Chain A
Amino acid sequence: MPLNVLVVDDSAVMRAMISRVVRLTGLPLGDLREAADGAEGLAAVRAHWIDLVLLDVNMPVMDGETMLRELRADPDTAGLPVIVVSTERSETRVAALEELGVAFVHKPFAPEELRATILRITGVPDDQHHAGTAAPGGDCDF
């Protein structure tokens, strides 16, 4: 089933970079939406079916931590997979965010690092890694 992905970052350039990596992951991708702050992100989550959120922390209007707490407080979105993609390096703040059940990718990130995190958190098999390793006749990955 295609995954609908939401990228939330106040930088248009960073949204484009992250979206490009998402397209290159090999994910079965449905809609790829973008939002410029946490408030826009929350509105998108409430208006559309979203399977994965890639979320910046420091943003105007509503920051990523506030958006994340709102998501976790709503039973409909409490379990939504979220990857925080941020410059945030404070051990204190990273630990607080991780307690909310997110994966963390620090900026600047290597595209492969983000791709691997997306595949891990979505549980999508790494087709590129598996390519050429399947036995003749084929094992099936589910």
Chain B
Amino acid sequence: MTSTTPAPLLQAATATFESLALLVARPSAGGAHARVPTPHAVSLAFAGPVRGRLVLRVSDDVRTALAGNMLGVDAPAPALQADALGELANVVCGNLLPALAGPAAVFRLGAPEPLAAGAPGSRGPRAGERRVSDAALDVEGGRAELAVYLDAACAFAGPA
């Protein structure tokens, strides 16, 4: 298998938004919602049977709500908002990889890496990568976008 359907990514993302941050996420219907800016991005590298990274981008309101709901506060500090975004990406990735590579596959996850707007790899593959799955979500009026990139030489062999 050289590419994956978005279903496992959608499933991991929607379940994580709901369980971790009490936010209802649905596949984006497009339209005006697709133009909501998503300036906050984080990248999470993984290595195991294949190497790659997951990128999560969210709108302002989603980033604030994530940290606010996880901490039970109204106005979380920016550093905590960034931390919450990274942790959400970590949980999505940890739950996604077994669905893609099989339950026995062992992966190491890197630390979440904030991506500045316009940074290489923030909105598309870096050199030597290819996108294998993506998803756009409506998160209670805000927006989240996720993408999984693999090193170009890697391919999922499918669940074990």
* Contact assessment for A89 and B94 in the assembled complex, using a CB-CB cutoff below 8 Å: yes
B20 within 8 A of A: yes
Give, as a whole number of angstroms, the nearest-CB distance from A7 to chain B.
Answer: 14
Chain A: residues with Cβ within 8 Å of the partner, total of 23
| Contact flags B94-128 to A (C-beta < 8 A → 1, else 0) | 11011000011111110100000000000000000
* Contact assessment for B108 and A58 in the assembled complex, using a CB-CB cutoff below 8 Å: yes
Contact of B20 among A86, A90, A108 (CB under 8 A): A108
A12 within 8 A of B: yes
Give, as a whole number of angstroms, the nearest-CB distance from A133 to chain B.
Answer: 30
* Contact assessment for B111 and A60 in the assembled complex, using a CB-CB cutoff below 8 Å: yes
* Contact assessment for A20 and B94 in the assembled complex, using a CB-CB cutoff below 8 Å: no
CB contacts (< 8 Å) of A110 on chain B: these are 19
Give CA–CA (A16, B16) in the complex, Å.
18
* Contact assessment for B109 and A58 in the assembled complex, using a CB-CB cutoff below 8 Å: yes
B90 within 8 A of A: yes
* Contact assessment for A20 and B91 in the assembled complex, using a CB-CB cutoff below 8 Å: no
* Contact assessment for A87 and B109 in the assembled complex, using a CB-CB cutoff below 8 Å: yes
| Contact flags B74-92 to A (C-beta < 8 A → 1, else 0) | 0000011001101100110
Chain A binder among B30-38, B64-72, B134-142: B64-72
A76 within 8 A of B: no
CB contacts (< 8 Å) of A42 on chain B: these are none
Contact A13 to B90, CB < 8 A, known contacts A89-B95, A107-B20: no
* Contact assessment for A88 and B70 in the assembled complex, using a CB-CB cutoff below 8 Å: no
| Contact flags A23-39 to B (C-beta < 8 A → 1, else 0) | 00000000000000000
* Contact assessment for B15 and A108 in the assembled complex, using a CB-CB cutoff below 8 Å: yes
Contact of B94 among A14, A87, A91 (CB under 8 A): A87
A92 within 8 A of B: yes
For B85, give the chain A residue with the smallest CB separation.
Answer: A13
Give, as a whole number of angstroms, the nearest-CB distance from B3 to chain A.
Answer: 22
A66 within 8 A of B: no
Contact A10 to B103, CB < 8 A, known contacts A88-B94, A89-B97, A108-B20: no
Give CA–CA (A139, B106) in the complex, Å.
48
CB contacts (< 8 Å) of B109 on chain A: these are 58, 87
* Contact assessment for A91 and B103 in the assembled complex, using a CB-CB cutoff below 8 Å: yes
For B17, give the chain A residue with the smallest CB separation.
Answer: A108
* Contact assessment for A89 and B98 in the assembled complex, using a CB-CB cutoff below 8 Å: yes
* Contact assessment for B93 and A90 in the assembled complex, using a CB-CB cutoff below 8 Å: no
Give CA–CA (A142, B20) in the complex, Å.
35
| 9 A-B interface contacts by CB (under 8 A) | A13-B70, A17-B71, A58-B90, A58-B94, A86-B94, A89-B103, A92-B105, A92-B106, A107-B94
Interface residues of A (CB under 8 A from B): 10-14, 16-17, 20, 58, 60, 86-93, 106-110
Interface residues of B (CB under 8 A from A): 15-16, 19-20, 67, 70-72, 79-80, 83-84, 86-87, 90-91, 93-95, 97-98, 103-109, 111
